[in-house]
RNA sequence: GGGCGGUUAGCUCAGUUGGUCAGAGCGCGUGCCUUACAAGCACGAGGCCGCAGGUUCGAGCCCUGCACCGCCCACCA
């Protein structure tokens, strides 16, 4: 069972990824099993537009770390994977590919053929995503993989749409929507991103009818829309314009007479206090237009070109039209002034084209009635959002929610289940494709050409994937899901809608907890972006550092809402950690061979966190200590996992394995083996401890732990086939504070001794005889003499004598002074250390005493706090006495 | 305009109910190729914990204000 000298993760990682899936460890049963907690989570389905980026890997690693830990904890665990058809995004990339490769537009192919092409794309890239996820060790149940356009999920979409329609929550109507002239579709408010950009505020004079020489000056950022003005508006309370009430103005360039209206729309403090009203091209004006029954004059069309209604400007692009309108106004002396003005332009989230507010007929979902129960669910804690600060963002948005435009003029997506009748003109909305109009019976019906917003189907994801609307066993068992891990960027797009639709459709919340992760940034905290060129390709770094190292590097920075700075250094040091573990195992295996120990017979996993070394009648201090440390690590791991502090989980295993296990425990065991007293027993305890440490680490670094565990543990009928399903170390083992304290003392003595040795080098005048060259020999030398530190502290060969402790400490100090022939300078050095500590102790003791004597504190502080301070004070005083004793010995 | 987060060692970050919390990784300095690991080992240097007040016996930690940095939301023409 020798181990290759070099740690080469690429040699075993892909193999285990396949073996795990083949073993079926990630596929839980449909029915709930007695005595097991259910832990379920649905993946935020990646878009099928391309391959996964490092942000996905962070998300999947966080999910996987939790899922694997839950599985090892014994929970009935489901991680359901899948992909999203991502309507507009996917249609866009396929159209682009089509244009670039074949020079065709989707219209050249026709709807049916185009959709077929997108499916082809999906097969190719969806597969790539799955492959990538498997390679990162994601422990998904691939037998339950879902796609938002699967027949089952499509049925859920229809069911939901029809239900909402029947409840009057979905309606069709002519309203102002955000229109992307490039994508040629309506967009929801969320799909429009606002960017501030420099612009101008133009002041334009409109002549007032029947008042020669009287003009009213409006201020606008979009002069081209004036062609569609159907009123000008002043604030009713604005005295400056009282004479205009009831008047009519003549719209320049088109010479249309339009009324002056009074409406709060006009803010007297802004611009000139007069606003032009274009109901067809501005959301505010649209509303004002309804209030005042103004006609609509649409001068900009779906292609962002001026319509026939724009008269002389017809056919011009909207921005060309702006230039021309301004020039013409200027020529007529109607352009009063041009003022620089920063304005925020709404752009299409996908293609960055400036969206055009246009009036068109679309399908909408009424949100207020859906939002109310969703708000309550978070308020009353049925859903917990982590970090909590995002709950506030959630409430803010939900309280101001507006109706959702759900129809898209795309071809790729869920076709809206509505049929228009050529006979009576009415709409039939139906779960099944109808043969005839439900109102007049005419067979001349045609399905609505639009598809649904892609987020509509995503909003059903937690239950549509489990079989809803059928009452499947999966749904019964795994819904509501336990946890959702996702990014803040889709809190409104997705999370909020899942909560609303989940409650509406199933009557229950879709998940209990929402964990929001941060962004992966580069080494300098810059956002990653293709244009910056600082992106990290997961597969590339996996190839370079190994999956475990990349996962670990990500987790080392992961906590709720925290952005993560991922650098080459961090991945390199994580790989160093993996390498360290690899080599620890290598050493262990060599030792096991040497003492004639084969693989560890595991059998039933130990309930106790680690067994002590079976040496006749005595438990070596280091065994008591390492068990204590492992117990502590297991307990802290549970806390870290429960609060999603992955960075802490990573820190716990790092410190335990590297600092405690490798640097101290193994080094001391080397000595024990050299001492020759029952070496086999020592090696065996060491191996058992390591085995448990591997389990503790497995959720974070699944591959290396599996590889080593398989080699370490003998096949046995009772042994789990994979570490994936081996029980993890559970907290609750006996804490051994005494061993921890004594070992801590040993550590500080050894460290002090080493420092002295280093100092000694600098000062050639004072040589220390028999000093060791390195850590291992350090301990060896110390342990070699009967009076040396370990044994001194142990107060015997192996076991500590509690009563002998203070004396033991003094003895150790004396041994250092006498046995090691310390120079005066060196003794001074130790004295300084001790004195520094004494000063600290005195300070904290004085402070504690003062606190305890403070009447106001005693009165105000809770009893347990006071008690805690008393206990600490006692401990400080005890340590003070001990340190003083050390000082006295040194003073010899 | 509203809201949220950040500011701790040269760099990237921990620090969970205020009291052994001044820490980690990388980097840096010194000494070690020691038969698990040089992707390593040992030791060390380095920080008015953004600034100014306040609460407290005691403040990276709580309160107030300020200064930068970042993010989200918003229909002010």
**Looking at A16-25, A454-463, A525-534, A691-700, which range is the least confident one?**
A525-534
* Protein-contacted bases of chain B (C-beta within 7 A): 3-5, 11-16, 19-20, 24-27, 30-32, 34, 36-37, 39-44, 56-58, 71-77
Would you say the C-beta of A266 is within 7 Å of strand B? yes
Q: Which residues contact A501 (CB under 8 A, 6 or more apart)?
A: A160, A370, A459, A460
Smallest Cα–C1' distance to nucleotide B39: which residue has it?
Answer: A576
Q: Are A132 and A51 in contact (CB under 8 A)?
A: yes
Measured CA to C1', the nucleotide nearest A219 is B77
Q: Is the pLDDT of residue A821 over 70?
A: no
Estimate in Å the CA A838 to C1' B20 gap, whole number. Answer: 12
Strand B contacts (CB < 7 A) among A residues 652-691? 654, 658, 662-663, 666-667
pLDDT for residue A797: 25
Would you say the C-beta of A279 is within 7 Å of strand B? no
Would you say the C-beta of A651 is within 7 Å of strand B? yes
Would you say the C-beta of A764 is within 7 Å of strand B? no
Query: A880 or A343: which carries more pLDDT confidence?
Result: A343
Would you say the C-beta of A584 is within 7 Å of strand B? yes
Instruction: Give me the percent of chain A exceeding a pLDDT of 90.
Output: 49
Query: A851 or A784: which carries more pLDDT confidence?
Result: A851
Q: Are A636 and A548 in contact (CB under 8 A)?
A: no
Biggest CA pair distance of chain A? 116
pLDDT for residue A677: 75
Range among A38-42, A285-289, A302-306, A561-565 with highest mean pLDDT value: A38-42
Estimate in Å the CA A845 to C1' B57 gap, whole number. Answer: 12
Query: A806 or A60: which carries more pLDDT confidence?
Result: A60
Would you say the C-beta of A85 is within 7 Å of strand B? no
Would you say the C-beta of A193 is within 7 Å of strand B? yes
User: What angle do helix axes A621-642 and A667-675 make, rounded to 10 degrees?
Assistant: 160
pLDDT for residue A528: 82
Estimate in Å the CA A847 to C1' B59 gap, whole number. Answer: 14
Mean pLDDT to the nearest integer, A252-278: 88
> Hey, what are A669's tokens?
């065991």
Q: Are A538 and A52 in contact (CB under 8 A)?
A: yes
Instruction: Tell whether omega for the bond before A198 is within 30 degrees of 0, i.e. cis.
Output: no
pLDDT for residue A699: 96
pLDDT for residue A678: 82
Tell me if ipTM is over 0.85: yes
Strand B contacts (CB < 7 A) among A residues 839-868? 840-841, 844, 847-848, 850-851, 854, 856-857, 861, 865
Smallest Cα–C1' distance to nucleotide B30: which residue has it?
Answer: A758
d(CA A839, CA A832): 10
Residue A538 sits at φ, ψ, to 5 deg, of -55, -45
Would you say the C-beta of A776 is within 7 Å of strand B? yes
**Looking at A73-77, A601-605, A646-650, which range is the least confident one?**
A601-605
Q: Is the pLDDT of residue A303 over 80?
A: yes
Estimate in Å the CA A774 to C1' B31 gap, whole number. Answer: 10
Which residue, among A184, A390, A402, A414, has the nearest Cα to A305 in the 3D structure?
A184
Instruction: Tell whether omega for the bond before A780 is within 30 degrees of 0, i.e. cis.
Output: no
Would you say the C-beta of A530 is within 7 Å of strand B? no
Strand B contacts (CB < 7 A) among A residues 395-434? 396-397, 400
Estimate in Å the CA A604 to C1' B1 gap, whole number. Answer: 64
Please return the burial class of A299, using the count of CB atoms within 10 Å of its CB with bins 0-12, 13-18 and 19+: buried
Compute the CA torsion angle A157, A159, A160, A164 (nearest 10 deg).
140
A663-707 tens-digit pLDDT = 889 988 887 787 777 888 889 989 999 999 999 999 999 999 999
Instruction: Give me the percent of chain A exceeding a pLDDT of 70.
Output: 81
pLDDT for residue A608: 57
Estimate in Å the CA A390 to C1' B54 gap, whole number. Answer: 30
Would you say the C-beta of A647 is within 7 Å of strand B? yes
Measured CA to C1', the nucleotide nearest A778 is B42
Q: Which residues contact A863 (CB under 8 A, 6 or more apart)?
A: none
pLDDT range class, residue A787, cuts 50, 70, 90: very low
A173-215 tens-digit pLDDT = 999 999 999 889 999 999 998 888 888 889 999 998 888 888 8
pLDDT for residue A662: 92
Would you say the C-beta of A189 is within 7 Å of strand B? yes
Q: What value does the CA radius of gyration of chain A take, rounded to a whole number of Å?
A: 37
Measured CA to C1', the nucleotide nearest A524 is B12
Please return the burial class of A251, using the count of CB atoms within 10 Å of its CB with bins 0-12, 13-18 and 19+: buried
Strand B contacts (CB < 7 A) among A residues 478-507? 488-489, 492
Name the pairing type of β-strands A427-429 and A451-452.
Answer: unpaired
Would you say the C-beta of A583 is within 7 Å of strand B? yes
A720-738 tens-digit pLDDT = 899 999 988 887 767 777 7
Would you say the C-beta of A344 is within 7 Å of strand B? yes
Which residue, among A595, A588, A585, has the nearest Cα to A680 in the 3D structure?
A595
A482-500 tens-digit pLDDT = 999 999 889 999 999 999 9
A236-264 tens-digit pLDDT = 888 888 888 888 999 988 888 999 998 88
Estimate in Å the CA A746 to C1' B40 gap, whole number. Answer: 24
Mean pLDDT to the nearest integer, A584-599: 91
Estimate in Å the CA A389 to C1' B64 gap, whole number. Answer: 21
Coil vs helix vs strand at A203: strand
pLDDT for residue A532: 75
């Amino acid at each position: 069972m020798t181990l290759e000298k070099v740690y080469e993760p690429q040699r075993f990682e892909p193999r285990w990824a396949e073996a795990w899936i083949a073993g079926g460890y990630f596929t839980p049963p449909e029915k709930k099993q007695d005595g097991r907690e259910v832990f379920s989570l649905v993946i935020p389905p990646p878009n099928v537009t391309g391959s996964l980026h490092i942000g996905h890997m962070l998300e999947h690693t966080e999910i996987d770390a939790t899922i694997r830990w839950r599985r090892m904890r014994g929970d009935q665990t489901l991680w359901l994977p899948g992909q999203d058809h991502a309507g507009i995004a996917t249609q866009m990339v396929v159209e682009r590919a089509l244009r670039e490769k074949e020079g065709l537009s989707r219209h050249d192919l026709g709807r049916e053929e185009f959709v077929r092409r997108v499916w082809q794309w999906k097969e190719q890239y969806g597969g790539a995503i799955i492959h990538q996820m498997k390679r990162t060790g994601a422990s998904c149940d691939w037998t339950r993989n879902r796609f938002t356009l699967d027949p089952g999920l499509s049925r859920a979409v229809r069911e939901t749409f029809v239900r909402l329609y029947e409840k009057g929550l979905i309606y069709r109507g002519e309203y102002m929507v955000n229109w992307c002239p490039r994508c040629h579709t309506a967009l929801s408010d969320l799909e429009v991103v606002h960017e501030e950009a420099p612009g101008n505020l133009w002041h334009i004079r409109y002549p007032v009818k029947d008042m020669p020489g009287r003009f009213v000056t409006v201020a606008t950022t979009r002069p081209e829309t004036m062609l569609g003005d159907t009123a000008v508006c002043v604030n009713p309370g604005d005295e400056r314009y009282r004479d205009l009430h009831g008047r009519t103005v003549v719209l320049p360039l088109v010479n249309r007479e339009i009324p002056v209206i009074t409406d709060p729309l006009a803010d007297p403090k802004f611009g000139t206090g007069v606003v032009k009203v274009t109901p067809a091209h501005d959301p505010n004006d649209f509303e004002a237009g309804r209030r005042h029954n103004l006609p609509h004059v649409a001068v900009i069309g779906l292609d962002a070109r001026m319509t026939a209604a724009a008269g002389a400007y017809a056919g011009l692009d909207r921005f060309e039209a702006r230039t021309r309108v301004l020039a013409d106004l200027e020529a007529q002396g109607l352009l009063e002034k041009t003022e620089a003005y920063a304005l925020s332009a709404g752009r299409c989230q996908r293609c960055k084209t400036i969206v055009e507010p246009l009036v068109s007929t679309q399908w909408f979902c009424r949100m207020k009635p859906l939002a109310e129960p969703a708000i309550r669910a978070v308020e009353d804690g049925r859903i917990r959002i982590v970090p909590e600060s995002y709950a506030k963002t959630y409430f803010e948005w939900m309280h101001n929610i507006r109706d959702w435009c759900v129809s898209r003029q795309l071809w790729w997506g869920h076709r809206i289940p509505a049929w228009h009748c050529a006979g009576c003109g009415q709409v039939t909305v139906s779960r099944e494709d109808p043969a005839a109009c439900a109102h007049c019976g005419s067979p001349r019906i045609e399905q609505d050409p639009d598809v649904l917003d892609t987020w509509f189907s995503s909003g059903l994801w937690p239950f549509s994937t489990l079989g809803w609307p059928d009452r499947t066993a999966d749904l019964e068992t795994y819904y509501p899901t336990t946890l959702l891990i996702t990014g803040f960027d889709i809190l409104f797009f997705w999370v909020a809608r899942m909560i609303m639709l989940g409650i509406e459709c199933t009557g229950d919340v879709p998940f209990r907890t929402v964990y929001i992760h941060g962004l992966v940034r580069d080494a300098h905290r810059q956002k990653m972006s293709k244009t910056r060129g600082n992106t990290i390709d997961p597969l590339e770094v996996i190839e370079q550092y190994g999956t475990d190292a990349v996962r670990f590097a990500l987790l080392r920075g992961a906590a709720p809402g925290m952005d993560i700075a991922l650098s080459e250094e961090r991945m390199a040091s994580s790989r160093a950690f993996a390498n360290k573990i690899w080599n620890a195992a290598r050493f262990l295996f060599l030792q096991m061979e040497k003492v004639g120990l084969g693989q560890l017979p595991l059998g039933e996993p130990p309930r106790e966190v680690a067994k002590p070394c079976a040496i006749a009648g005595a438990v070596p201090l280091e065994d008591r200590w390492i068990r204590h440390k492992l117990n502590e690590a297991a307990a802290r791991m549970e806390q870290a996992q429960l609060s999603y502090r992955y960075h802490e989980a990573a820190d716990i295993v790092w410190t335990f394995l590297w600092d405690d296990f490798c640097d101290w425990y193994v080094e001391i065991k080397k000595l024990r083996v050299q001492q020759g007293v029952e070496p086999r027993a020592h090696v065996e305890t060491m191996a058992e401890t390591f085995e448990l440490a591997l389990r503790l680490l497995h959720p974070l670094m699944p591959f290396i732990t599996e590889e080593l565990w398989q080699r370490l543990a003998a096949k046995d009928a009772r042994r789990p086939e994979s570490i994936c399903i081996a029980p993890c170390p559970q907290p609750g083992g006996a804490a051994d504070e005494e061993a921890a304290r004594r070992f801590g003392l040993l550590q500080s003595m050894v460290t002090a001794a080493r420092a002295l040795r280093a100092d000694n080098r600098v000062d050639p005048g004072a040589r220390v005889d028999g000093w060791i060259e390195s850590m291992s020999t350090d301990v060896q030398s110390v342990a070699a003499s009967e009076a040396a530190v370990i044994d001194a502290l142990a107060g015997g060969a192996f076991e500590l004598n509690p009563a002998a402790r203070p004396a033991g400490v003094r003895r150790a100090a004396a041994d250092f002074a006498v046995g090691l022939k310390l120079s005066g300078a060196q003794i001074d050095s130790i004295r300084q250390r001790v004195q520094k500590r004494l000063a600290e102790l005195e300070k904290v003791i004085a402070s504690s005493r003062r606190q305890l004597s403070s009447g106001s504190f005693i009165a105000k502080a809770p009893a347990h706090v006071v008690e805690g301070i008393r206990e600490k004070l006692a401990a400080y005083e005890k340590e003070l006495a001990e340190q003083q004793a050390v000082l006295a010995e040194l003073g010899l």
